[in-house]
């Protein structure tokens, strides 16, 4: 149960969840330009770091479906919460 909750909580911080403000309304302008650039750099680092282990496709009803970056990042983020790890890209870039 904890894994499911942590996975869903991390969705609030993925690329989809970040488009909403603290009240749950869609508001893509709450980032400053500099914070958006820093986030993009960290996500790029994260994508490169885990490129080999990210799931590319899953089978769903006999169809091969491409998995999006958001899902992989959320899966990895919830795994890190579960294991008490920290994402190195988010602590090494200033």
Per-residue model confidence as pLDDT tens digits over 48-58:
776 666 656 55
pLDDT by residue (tens digit) across 6-15?
Answer: 767 776 766 7
For 72, other C-beta atoms within 10 Å of its C-beta total 19
Q: What pLDDT band is residue 5 in, cutting at 50, 70 and 90?
A: confident
Average pLDDT over residues 12-30: 78
For 77, other C-beta atoms within 10 Å of its C-beta total 21
The pTM of the full predicted model, rounded to 2 decimals, is 0.47
* Residue 22 vs residue 7, higher pLDDT: 22
pLDDT of residue 20: 82
For 73, other C-beta atoms within 10 Å of its C-beta total 21
């Amino acid at each position: 149960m904890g894994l499911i909750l942590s996975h869903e909580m991390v969705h609030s911080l993925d690329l989809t969840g970040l488009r909403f403000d603290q009240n749950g309304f869609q508001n893509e302008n709450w980032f400053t330009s500099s914070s958006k650039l820093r986030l993009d750099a960290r996500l790029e680092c994260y994508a490169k770091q885990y490129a080999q282990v990210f799931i590319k496709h899953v089978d769903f009803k006999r169809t091969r479906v491409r998995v999006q970056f958001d899902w992989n990042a959320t899966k990895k983020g919830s795994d890190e919460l579960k294991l008490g790890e920290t994402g190195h890209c988010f602590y090494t870039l200033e």
